[in-house]
Amino acid sequence: MFCSVTIKTIEDVLFPGIGVRVGKVEESSGKLVVEAVSIGRPGRCPDCRSSAMRVHSSYHRRLVERPLGPRHVVVRLKVRRFFCDRRSCPRRTFAEQVAGFTERHGRISVGLKQRLYAVAVELGGRPGARLCRKVQMKAGRTLLLGLLQAPPVPARAPRVLGVDDFALRRRTRYATVLVDVEASRVVDVLSDRTAEVLADWLAQHPGAEVICRDRASAYSKAIRQAAPHALEVADRWHLLQNLSNALEKTCHQHRSCLRKHAEQEARPSPPKIEPLQDLPRTAMVERTRHRYEDIHRLLDEGRTVNGIARDLDLDPRTVDKYKKTPLDDLLASAANRRPNTGISPFKPYLHLRLGQLGNKAVGAHLHRELRERGFRGHVRTVERYLARFSIGEAETVHAPMPSPSTVAAWVTRHRELLTEEEEDQLLRVRLACPDITRACDLTWAFLDITRNLRGTLLLEWIHQAVQDAPKPMRGFANGLLQDLDAVTAGLTLPWSSGIVEGHVNRIKTLKRAMYGRASFKLLRTRILTHP
């Protein structure tokens, strides 16, 4: 059985589809030098575009081509120079360009330029130069960045325009990104986020019918000024964020209700026990004891506070504190320097065991029991906690109370995603305070309007919130009234700033990859050229 094999020439391998003929290939200093000559049809004058008829002369060009395996490739290309026979043309001669291979004043081939451009778009300057060295392409960061050119901005704005800001330098400088929401493409990047900058851009690029924005007043002012006929759409994510903040403030203002309800559900305190008398010998306690002895020894010798501070390499205020404070107070402060937060979930069981064992309680034994129940702390953590009991009294253990941010997260999450334990705790929170219950009900109603795009019910929701809602929720409702048209559109139309936020995240990645070294012009170019 025979199979046909197509034998390709060296031109088909090195220059497929390009009008050149290879004369000689030789290796020199680890690179391939290819002698080639242009055999294409005569070119056209770059000024008058007339076809050339006569050859003026020829010369050699030196071009760097894409690497072939581990070897660099250099092409010595012989090209022709032609006469321009049109009398009205000011140009007398011109050099030919090989389509798909050469460009005017270029020292690299078109194929290599396309590869370097792709590297520059994805990685930028220094990272791109490091990659080029590894794949045998000679290119520095200056060459790579020089290939990047920002595309022209369309004369008209897209029909659905997204506007958002991002930080050039956090809390100091900000810029504005404009996105075509329908095409998911960045249109332009502005150097500031003020109303004047956006208004000038909208005036120079008319055509936006829908503008998605966050709740920044500067953008709203610019839209009313330069594009009064455009429909403003407030972003739903920012609305939910403001709602969550209002709910969290409500829970924070009524923490006393949560604490009172938690204390009513708390278990009774265990019986009184005798505390451990000796402080644990921790490094902090021992250092405090030795420092106290050294300072008071030098004070007895008649040294001054500043002199002792210089000798012991301490702050004079530290020496003065050790001079005036009793040793027992210093040792107690050193023993309690680090809070035992890791043991907090195990305090109810620890107190129960202390009530059962009384004075027979041993820290090592209790530590082993806590380890069996998931405690990962050191035995000294248990001993330090035992040593903190006041004489004849045990520490009161409160029932666990969720934080305001946790409550807000439970309420704003989909109900089917909550565990049974989270639902039980949320129910106890609602039973603890009627104001929190009202805030939760209003939050669920607003979430239903947002998720199902029922913007027609917004005014009724605002009316209910203003009447009997807690103060933070009333403030959120009054804020909606000030931007009612945009909020209603955001809760009715399918448009939002989600695509814009995605581009902002991509911009932050590009900005951090540039290590803050680049100018705004280069950052804008990379944003617009990056896919």
The 8-class DSSP code of residue 44 comes to B
- Closest by CA to 205, choosing from 157, 163, 164, is 157
CA–CA separation, 529 and 531 (whole Å): 6
Most confident of 284-288, 308-312, 343-347, 400-404: 308-312
Most confident of 32-46, 271-285, 462-476: 462-476
Report strand pairing: 185-190 vs 173-180. antiparallel
210 to each of 55, 192, 307, how far by Cα in Å? 59, 22, 73
Question: Which domains does the chain possess?
Answer: 18-107 (no CATH), 112-147 (no CATH), 160-235+496-529 (3.30.420.10), 239-261+402-490 (no CATH), 283-387 (no CATH)
Question: Looking at the predicted structure, is the pLDDT value of residue 445 above 80?
Answer: yes
Question: Looking at the predicted structure, is the pLDDT value of residue 251 above 80?
Answer: yes
pLDDT tens string 22-69: 988 888 777 899 999 998 888 889 889 888 889 999 999 999 999 988
From the number of C-beta atoms within 10 Å of its C-beta (0-12, 13-18, 19+), residue 373 rates as: exposed
Q: Which amino acid is it at 233?
A: V
CA–CA separation, 525 and 30 (whole Å): 37
pLDDT tens string 320-375: 889 888 887 787 677 655 444 467 777 777 777 776 776 666 778 888 888 887 77
Residue 190, strand partner residues: 176
CA–CA separation, 291 and 318 (whole Å): 10
How much is the pLDDT for 394? 46
- Where do runs of H (alpha helix) occur along 77-210? 110-123, 126-134, 141-147, 195-204
Query: What does the pLDDT average to over 388-414?
Result: 71
Report strand pairing: 231-234 vs 210-213. parallel
pLDDT tens string 61-98: 999 999 988 888 999 999 999 999 898 999 999 999 99
The 8-class DSSP code of residue 344 comes to G
Question: Model confidence at 120, in pLDDT bands (50, 70, 90)?
Answer: very high
Which residues are CB-contacts of 45 (< 8 A; sequence separation ≥ 6)?
Answer: 52, 82, 84, 86, 89, 91, 94
Q: Cβ(215)–Cβ(234) under 8 Å?
A: yes
Residue 74, strand partner residues: 33, 64
How much is the pLDDT for 358? 65
Which residues are CB-contacts of 160 (< 8 A; sequence separation ≥ 6)?
Answer: 180, 181, 182, 208, 209, 210, 211, 212, 495
150 to each of 141, 189, 528, how far by Cα in Å? 17, 11, 6
Q: Cβ(62)–Cβ(74) under 8 Å?
A: yes
Long-range interactions of 361-367: CB distance < 8 A, separation 24+:
361/273, 361/386, 363/276
Question: Looking at the predicted structure, is the pLDDT value of residue 267 above 70?
Answer: no
Portion of the chain with pLDDT greater than 90, in percent? 46
Portion of the chain with pLDDT greater than 70, in percent? 89
- Closest by CA to 138, choosing from 77, 26, 63, 79, is 63
pLDDT tens string 182-193: 999 999 999 999
Rg for the chain, CA atoms, rounded? 38
Residue 160, strand partner residues: 210
pLDDT higher for 511 or 492? 492
Question: Looking at the predicted structure, is the pLDDT value of residue 229 above 90?
Answer: yes
CA–CA separation, 458 and 481 (whole Å): 10
In the numeric block, which tokens belong to residue 162? 């997204």
- Closest by CA to 526, choosing from 516, 515, 505, 511, is 511
Residue identified by tokens 């995603």 is 417
- Closest by CA to 107, choosing from 67, 142, 59, 62, is 62
